[in-house]
Chains A and B, each alone.
Chain A
Amino acid sequence: MNNFTYFQPKTLQEAGEMFGKSWHETTALAGGTDLLGLMKDDIEAPRNVVNLKSLPGLNRISYQPGKGLKIGALTSIAKIASHSDINKRYPVLAQAAKQVASPQLRNVGTIGGNICQRPRCWYFRGDFHCLRKGGDICYAVDGKNKYHCVIGGGPCFIVHPSDMAVALLALDAKLTVYSGGKNKTVAIGDFFVLPEKNVRRENILLPGEIVVDIRIQELNNNTKSGYVKFAERGVWDFAVVSVAAVIQKNGNALKKGRVVLGGVAPAPWFEKKISKKLSGLIPSEKNLDEIMKTALVDAEPLAMNEYKLPLAKNLMKRLIGELTA
C-alpha cells in the first residue's frame, strides 16, 4: 500500500471539495473494508484518503411508520442486521445484511461502502491489466469465468458483489447523493452502470459525489420480503447467485412483486419478466415452474457459468414459494 495523506472533513462541503477531477488522486474511505484490499493490492493508489466517518450524523437509522426508513450511508452493516424495525418491516434488508461477509467485516463495513464496492473478479483483483483497470482486454472472456456474469456483460464480465444492493433494488430504494454543494435524489435502479456504458466504474458517482443516505418507502402490511444467498462456502463468501424478493399478496393470488438477482450481472439485476408475471399469479409449484421458463431468457452464459441459470431459477422459485406459502 502506498502512503497517502489522510483527511477527516467535518462537513460534506469540506469533504466534496477535497476531491479533484480524477478518482486516482483522492478516494473516500467509509468502512474501508474494500478500499484497504484495493490499496494493498495496488489496484487503487490514491494520494489522498478522505475518511467520511468524521462527518457527523451519517450513521443513523430512522424509521417512521407510514413514512418509511432512512439509513445513513455510514451505518454499519451489523447495525442494519440487528435493527428491530428493519427486521420487522424490511426482512429482505436484514437478511441480506446478516449474510454480508463475516461478523468482523459487518462491524466495520458500511451500507454506503457496500453498494460502492468494487468487483471481486480475480482478474480485476489480480495482477492483470484488464479493461476495468484501463487495459484493452477482459481476461475472463476466454479465461476462468465460473463466477462471472451470465447477463448484462460485455465488454467486461464482472458481477456486482454487493448483497445490500440486491435487497435495496428489490425495495426500490432512493439514494441521497451530495453533489457540488447540494443533495440530489437518485433511484437505486439508476445508480449502477453496466460495462457497456462505463467499463471503469460500477456506478454513476463522480469524484466528489458522496452517498449520504438511503431511503426506503413504507411497505404495506400484505408485503412479504426475503433474501436468499447462495455462496460456495456457505458463509463469508460472496454470492454465486442471490435473490431478493418483495411481494405483495392479495388473498390467494399475488398483487405485485419485485424480484432482483445478484451474482448474475455486472449490476444488481431486476428480473423484469418474473416481477411482471407475479401480478395475479397463484403461487403453486406448477405456476412457479411455468414462469421460471421466462427467467433470464436473454442470458448468454460464458464457457464455465451456465450453471448459474438453473441455480438462479431454482432460488427464485424457492424464495417466492417460501414467501407466499
Chain B
Amino acid sequence: MPRKIVKSKYFFEEDFIETIGEVSTEKVKDWGPNSQLKVVGKSLSRIDGYDKVSGTAKFSFDISLPNMVYAKTLRCPLPHAKIKKIDISEAKKVPGVLAVLTYENAPKIPWYYGMSFLFDPHLRYEGDEVACIAAETEQIAVDALKLIHVEYEELPFVVDAGAAMKPGAAKVHDAGNVVRGEPQIYKRGDIEKGFKQADVVVEDTFSTQVEIHNPTEPHCSVVNWDGSRLTIWDSTQGVFSVRDAIAGYLKMPASKVRVIKKYMGGAFGSKLEAGKYTVMAALLARETGRPVRIALDRRAMNLAVGNRPGSVQKLKVGAKKDGTLTAMNHYSYGAAGAYPSGAGCSRPFRTLYKCFNVRSEEYTVFINTGRGRPFRAPGHVQGTFAFESIIDETAEKIGMDPLAFRIKNYAEVDPASNRPYTGKLLRQAYKRGAAAIGWQDRKPAGSGSGPVKTGLGVATQIWWGGGGPPAYATLKLNRDGSAHVIAGSQDLGTGTYTFIAQVAAEVLEIPMEKIQVTLGDTAVAPYCGSSGGSTTAPSVSPAVRDAAEQMKTKLISAAAAVLEIPGNQLVYKNGIISVKNKPDKKLTIANIVRRMRERVLLTTGARNANPSGYAINTFGAQFARVEVDTYTGRISVKKIVAAHDIGRVLNRKTLENQVHGGILQGLGFALIEERVMDEFTGKMLNANLYDYKMPAIYNVPEIEVIIVSEGDAKISNTGVKGIGEPAMIPTPAAIANAVYNAIGVRLKSLPITPDKVLMALQG
C-alpha cells in the first residue's frame, strides 16, 4: 500500500507539534455527505455501553491482582518547605507495612525537566510527595502514613500569580518566578499605527480563576513485574506516552513496559503524562515482589495532578466606526504552579478575527501550588472569555450589533499565517445559531423590568482539532467473517470504541456486532498519539478507514484468485463479493478467510499527512439565554445553542453528548468552579467535591446542537475534526455576554458567582 515518510504538523493541546512519520498516501474516494453513508454519522449506541451500565467494565481503578498490595502517599502540608528530618521507623513497625520510600532511600530519578526528583527534600507546593508506603491493605497504609514523622523547615511562599511577579516576592525557584525568565511575545503589523486609525479604543481587564480537572476516576495505577517485564494498568490519556516515560525513568527498554487502559473515568487533560505515583508503585512492587495498586484520594486529586491556570488579561481593542478592527493588544499573566507548564491564553485573540495590527505579551510565573496541566482547550477557554467580552464592549461602543460586528471582521484566511482554511463554515454557524436562539429579539442591555432579567449573548470558538499522524490501526479478519480493529488510542468516554467500529463497518459493509475493538494496550496495538487536543477522532478514524479499505482491496484480490476471475469483474457489497451479472457466484468474507487459511487477514492503516499550505481549524458559535435574579444574584442559564463546524459527524449521539459535556464544563467555569487558596497559609481551602463546586444535574440548560459541516475532505479520508474542546471554549464568554445584556453591568471576573452579581448591582 502506498506509504511514505514525511514531516507533518498539527496542533496538540498547547502548541504545534511537528513529527516525521510514516503516513498513508492512498487516495480514496471522499465519502460525501453522511446521508450517503450507512453507519457513519448515525446515532448509534456506544458499543461499550453494556460494560459501563452493568458495572462489569473494569477501569484501571478496579483492577485487582492476586497478592496485590496497596500504596499510599504522604504529601507535604505546607506550600514551601525543606525536609529537615524524616523518621519512618514507627511507620515501618506497623504490622502489614511492607515498604516505605522517601528521598533518603529511593533512587534519585530526575523529574520536571531536571528541576526536581521523584522524591525531593525541597517541597514546593502543598501536596508535593514526601513518602510512599506499601502495605497489605489500603487502611493499613493510611494508618501508617500518620506515623511518619517529618520535621519541615518552612520557607517563604507565594500562591498568587500577581504577587509572584512583584519585586521581592518569595522565590519558588532560585532563577526567579517568571518561567523562562521572559514573556512570550507575538506581534504582527504595527499596533501603534493601528490604534491611531481607530475611531474608538476600548481597554479593560479580565480575570479567570484556577479550575481543577477533578475527573471522577482518580489517577491510579496497578503495576506488576514479571521478572524484567513491567505491566501497568494506568488511568491515562496516552498509553504510549506513559510507556515511554516510565521506561525512561526506570532506565529499561520500552519494549519491556506494557501499559494498559481499557476504560477511563474522565481526564480532561490531567492524565496526559506519566505520574510520579506510577513510578513509586513500580519501585514498591520491585521491593515487595508483589503487584502494587496506587490511587490518589480526592484531596490529592485537587492538589497535585493539574489545573487550568488562572489568568489576568489586559486587553485593548481599536476599531473604526464602520466596525473594522484596526489594532489589538493583549497583556496577560498566569501561574504555572511550582513547575513549568503553560499559562498563555492569547491564541484565540491572535487568530479569531481579521486584524492586521496585533500584539500579545504573556507571562507564565511560578507559584507554590500544584502544577498546571492542559485542561480542555487550554488557554482558549479563558482567552475567549476575555476577548469575546471586549469584542462585545467594542461593538456596543460603536453602536453595532455584536453579531454583525463579528461578521464584519470575519477572517477569510488565517490572520496569523495568511493561509486559506481547509474549511470554514463559521458564517453558517452564526446564521443558524442566531435563528435558533431568537437573536432578532435581543433587547438593549439592562432594559428588562422586574427583578428577574433576561439576556442573550454570543461567543465564537476557534480551535485546532484537525489531528494528524502518526496514528495507526490494525485490522484482522477472523474465519467466521468477524473483524477486530486494534489501535493504540484510548476511549476517554468520548466514544472512540464506537466510531472505530462504525468506520470499519462502513467500509467492510458488515454489521457492527461483528466488530471488536481493542484500544489502550501498548503490547498489542500499533501506535496512536495521546487522546487530547480533540485529535483522537480526526487522527484515528482515517487510519481505520485506510486499514479497512486496504482489507477490502485484499479481499477482492483474494476472491479473484479463488474464483479465477479478474478483480475488476467483482463487486463488493455487504461483505459479499460476487461476480458482476452473476449474483449467485459469490464469496462471503468468511469463505475467503477460510480459503486463505487466515493469510489475508491483516492490514494496518495509517493517518495521512495534513495538507500543506492550509490552516486547519474548528469553528463555531454558541448563543446563551440567561435569566438573572437581581434579588439573589443567581444566574440561570436557560438555553444554549451550539452551532459548530467540526467536519464530519461520526456518531450523532456521542457527538451531542460531547457538546453537552463541553457546555456543562463551560457553565461550571463561568458560574461556580474555583480553586480557593488561603493566601496566609498557602493552602487550598476547597480540595474536596463539596467546597469545589461542579455543576449538578439541576444546572442543566436546554441545549440545541447544530452541526453546519459535513466532511472536510481536504483534511483526511474521513474529513473529521474534533469537538470535545470546541464545545467548551465559547460557553463562558457567551454566558458572560448574556449576563451583561440582562443586567447592563459587565462582570469581568470568573466565576460570576451571586455575590459578585449582587455587589455589582449595588453599584
Residues of A at the B interface (CB closer than 8 Å) are: 2, 120, 122-123, 125-128, 139, 142-144, 146, 230, 232-237, 240, 304-307, 310-311, 314-315, 317-318
Contact of A233 among B631, B679, B693 (CB under 8 A): B693
Q: Which residue of A lies closest to B676 (CB)?
A: A144
Chain B nearest CB, measured from A102 CB (Å): 9
Say whether A123 contacts B685, CB under 8 Å. Answer: yes
CA distance A317 to B632 in the complex (A): 12
CB distance from A119 to the nearest CB of B (A): 13
Could you jot down 26 A-B contacts, CB within 8 Å? A120-B690, A122-B676, A122-B691, A123-B685, A128-B683, A139-B680, A142-B680, A143-B678, A144-B677, A144-B685, A230-B754, A232-B693, A232-B754, A233-B695, A233-B696, A234-B696, A235-B696, A235-B698, A240-B754, A306-B759, A307-B633, A307-B758, A310-B762, A311-B633, A314-B632, A317-B631
Indicate if the CB atoms of A311 and B699 lie closer than 8 Å.
no
Task: Name the contact of A232 in the complex, choosing from B672, B676, B687 (C-beta under 8 A).
Answer: B672
Known: A233-B672, A233-B695, A307-B759. 19 other contacts (CB 8 A): A120-B690, A125-B691, A127-B77, A143-B678, A143-B685, A144-B678, A144-B685, A146-B755, A232-B672, A233-B698, A233-B699, A234-B699, A237-B693, A304-B755, A307-B754, A311-B631, A311-B632, A314-B631, A317-B631
A122 to B693, CA, bound (A): 13
Min CB gap B422→A, angstroms? 41
- Taking CB as reference atom, which chain B residue is nearest A310? B758
Question: Known interface pairs A143-B678, A307-B633. Does A127 touch B698 (Cβ–Cβ under 8 Å)?
Answer: no
Using CB atoms, name the residue of chain B closest to A146.
B755
Residue of B nearest to A137 (CB): B680
Q: Top 4 A-B pairs ranked by shortest CB distance?
A: A314-B631, A307-B755, A235-B698, A122-B685
In the bound complex, CA of A297 to CA of B686 (Å): 31
Which residues on the B side are within 8 Å of A318 (C-beta)? 631
**Which chain B residues lie closer than 8 Å to A240 at the CB level?**
754-755
CA distance A240 to B690 in the complex (A): 14
Q: Within 8 Å CB of B677, what residues of A?
A: 144
Bound CA span A232–B686, Å: 14
Residues of B within 8 A of A232 (CB): 672, 693, 753-754
Main secondary structure of the interface of A (DSSP, over half): loop
Distance A192 CA – B585 CA, assembled complex (angstroms): 90
Report yes or no: A139 in contact with B698, Cβ–Cβ below 8 A.
no
Interface centre among A2, A120, A142, A232 (most CB of B within 10 A): A232
Contacts of B173 in A (CB 8 A): none
- Verify if B634 is at the interface (C-beta below 8 Å from A): yes
Q: Name A311's contact: one of B77, B696, B698, B758 (CB within 8 Å).
A: B758
Residue of B nearest to A126 (CB): B685
Complex Cα spacing A122 to B678, Å: 10
By a CB distance below 8 angstroms, the chain B residues around A230 are: 632, 634, 754
Residues of B close to A139: CB separation below 8 A: 678, 680-681
How far is the CB of B563 from the nearest CB of chain A, in Å?
A: 64
Give the distance to chain B from A36, nearest Cβ to Cβ, in Å: 13
The answer for the CA separation of A128 and B693 in the assembled complex, in Å, is 21
**Distance of B436 from chain A, by nearest CB (Å):** 25
| Chain B contacts for A314, CB-based, 8 A | 631-632
Residues of A near B698 (CB, < 8 A) are 233-236
Chain B positions 591-605 with a Cβ under 8 Å from a chain A Cβ = none
Report the Cα distance A122→B686, complex, angstroms. 7
Q: Taking the nearest CB of chain B, how far is it from the CB of A298, in angstroms?
A: 20
CB neighbours of A305 from chain B (8 A)? 755
How far is it, in angstroms, between the C-alpha of A146 and the C-alpha of B753 when the chains are bound?
11
Are the C-beta atoms of A126 and B683 separated by less than 8 Å? yes
Known: A144-B676, A232-B754, A235-B698. A315 touches B632 (CB 8 A): yes
Residues facing A in B637-690 (CB within 8 A) are 672, 676-681, 683, 685-687, 690
Interface centre among B632, B681, B695, B753 (most CB of A within 10 A): B632
Closest-by-CB residue of A relative to B636 is A234
Q: How far is the CA of A315 from the CA of B758 in the complex (A)?
A: 13
- Tell me which of B680, B691, B699, B762 contacts A143 (CB under 8 A): B680
| Closest CB in chain A relative to B718 CB, distance in Å | 40
Mark interface residues in B322-354 (1 if CB within 8 Å of A CB, else 0). Answer: 000000000000000000000000000000000
Which residues on B sit within 8 Å (CB–CB) of A144? 676-678, 685
Cα of A139 to Cα of B676 in the assembled complex, Å: 14
Distance in Å: Cβ of A109 to nearest Cβ of chain B: 14
Q: Taking the nearest CB of chain A, how far is it from the CB of B346, in angstroms? A: 30
Q: How far is the CB of B204 from chain A (nearest CB, A)?
A: 23
